Amino acid sequence: MMKHRQIFILGVSVVGFGVIQALPIADMLPGFLLRLPGSVASTSAIRTISVAPDASLLAALRLIIYLIFLVLVFEVAAQPNRGERIGWMLFFGITAHAVWGLISLNFLGDTLLLGEKFAYQGVATGTFVNRNSYATFLGFGIVLGVALSLGRRAHPFNRTLHDRSWLSPERVEMLAIWVMISLIALALLATQSRMGVFATIIAGLLTFVVISIKQQYSVKSIIATGGVGLFVLATVAPLGGNLGVLERFLFVEQASETRLDFYRQMIGMIEARPFTGYGLDAFAAAFELHRAPPITSPRVLELGHNSYLTLWVELGLFFGSLPLIALITAAGVIIQRILRQTTNLAMPAAALGVLCLGAIHSLVDFSLEIPANLLVFLAVVAIGAAHWRKREAETIQGL
């Protein structure tokens, strides 16, 4: 934990400010810090910075649980082989989710795990309610699969085998891994999530390029292999009946106009309270206070479709930026590890890919605000950034 104290200090600061937002201290602060729309301000009896103090306290508790989870993963991943085993378990688990999503969509009448599906009929959602959240989850699996398969290719055991026939054990093993990656890719395409597919392609390519460079493959070989992979993906997509995502890419303009209206109102909320925010996990209540045309839907918007703007709405510009700084700090640690190491690159490269995927998808969605996704995200990033114990690190470097 001490090796990552900066990350924990940033996390604890966010928790502390979330609790402060829920305390009855609003009367002690200058009015310009707590601006609300005129019709609300004239009748408001809110005594806290947060417009939903109970939600803020529960969110602070949830963040504490995430920090404890990080501590546990950092400790477990201090042994790199153990961290990679966790990566394999996550990959196999996500593969199982992908298989279930395809079976549910195509053979079980498009249902959820335990009941009827009320939204996103005709597209894969697996055990998730939202297709974009499911797409992010599947994208993590593809990034893990790419990183672990390439890491397996360079494993000392595989390099010393002499059987190079097409049915050699290592080739059969690699084929099985890529069959699983293909199943996850089919499920991802079946979600019809535009940003989910785009972010996964970018993150997967980043992971592939990073490991290939470290394994000293030529630029020509890297480009050729990456091109073949994209060609296979483009070929398999129509075979799986997954043209819906292509159609949604073609009609992206209308949807983007609606999102831009939403984002303009969120930016206006940030401008009104740039220092204090509206309260941790209080976005839904705060947005209803500011809702204005052209957003006239009667449906309550519980989550912002941009995690960066949501953080700044809830926590203000300073404290809302601390989680981003923590992730940038983790990315710096991971990049240093990748540059320094010559072996056991799978999980650091996967962590970099997962960070890339989460960063891109969070521009237009809230996938990392879903606990199932966030826990996988934190686990992979923590494994990739974990500080190895000295004796274990020396053993690995000596292989």
Is the residue at 238 inside a domain?
yes
Our CA dihedral for 239, 241, 246, 252, rounded to 10 degrees, sits at: -170
Split at pLDDT 50, 70, 90, the class of 137 is very high
Split at pLDDT 50, 70, 90, the class of 239 is low
In the prediction, which pLDDT does 44 show?
54
Answer yes or no: is pLDDT of 218 > 80.
Answer: no
Domain count for the chain: 1
Query: How many angstroms separate the CA atoms of 377 and 138, rounded?
Result: 12
Q: Mention every residue, 6+ apart, whose C-beta is less than 8 A from residue 94.
A: 137, 138, 140, 141, 144, 184, 376
Top mean pLDDT of 171-185, 280-294, 308-322 is at: 308-322
- The 3-state DSSP class for residue 117 equals coil
Is the model more confident about 303 or about 164? 303
What's the mean pLDDT in 370-397? Answer: 81
Residue 350 near residue 144, CB atoms below 8 Å? yes
Residue 63 near residue 326, CB atoms below 8 Å? no
In the prediction, which pLDDT does 230 show?
64
Is the residue at 30 inside a domain?
yes
Tokens encoding 297:
């839907």
Is the residue at 163 inside a domain?
no
- The torsion angles phi and psi of 37, rounded to 5 degrees, stand at -55, 145
Give the domain extent around 226. 2-155+168-385
Is the residue at 229 inside a domain?
yes
Q: Which of 31-45, 274-288, 371-385 has the lowest mean pLDDT?
A: 31-45
Mean pLDDT value across the chain? 85
In the prediction, which pLDDT does 250 show?
46
Is the residue at 62 inside a domain?
yes
Find the length of the chain: 399
The tally of CA atoms less than 13 A away on the side-chain side of residue 205 is 13
Answer yes or no: is pLDDT of 144 > 80.
Answer: yes
Split at pLDDT 50, 70, 90, the class of 398 is very low
In the prediction, which pLDDT does 226 show?
66
Alpha helices in 191-306 (DSSP H): 194-214, 219-239, 244-250, 252-272, 283-290
Is the residue at 214 inside a domain?
yes
Tokens encoding 384:
């990739």
What's the mean pLDDT in 221-250? Answer: 59
Is the residue at 391 inside a domain?
no
In the prediction, which pLDDT does 41 show?
55
Per-position b or e across 223-232, b if 16+ CB within 10 A of its CB: eeeeeebeee
Q: Which amino acid is at 339?
A: L
pLDDT tens, 258-292? 778 889 999 999 999 999 999 999 999 999 888 88
Answer yes or no: is pLDDT of 339 > 70.
Answer: yes
Per-position b or e across 135-157, b if 16+ CB within 10 A of its CB: bbbbbbbbbbbbbbbbbbbbeee
Of 360, 348, 343, the residue nearest 395 (C-alpha): 343
Q: Which of 36-40, 232-236, 260-264, 278-282 has the lowest mean pLDDT?
A: 232-236
In the prediction, which pLDDT does 207 show?
95
Is the residue at 239 inside a domain?
yes
Of 335, 337, 317, the residue nearest 327 (C-alpha): 335
**CA dist list (Å): 343 to 8, 35, 152, 181, 338:** 28, 54, 11, 23, 9
Is the model more confident about 92 or about 171? 92
Q: Which amino acid is at 265?
A: Q
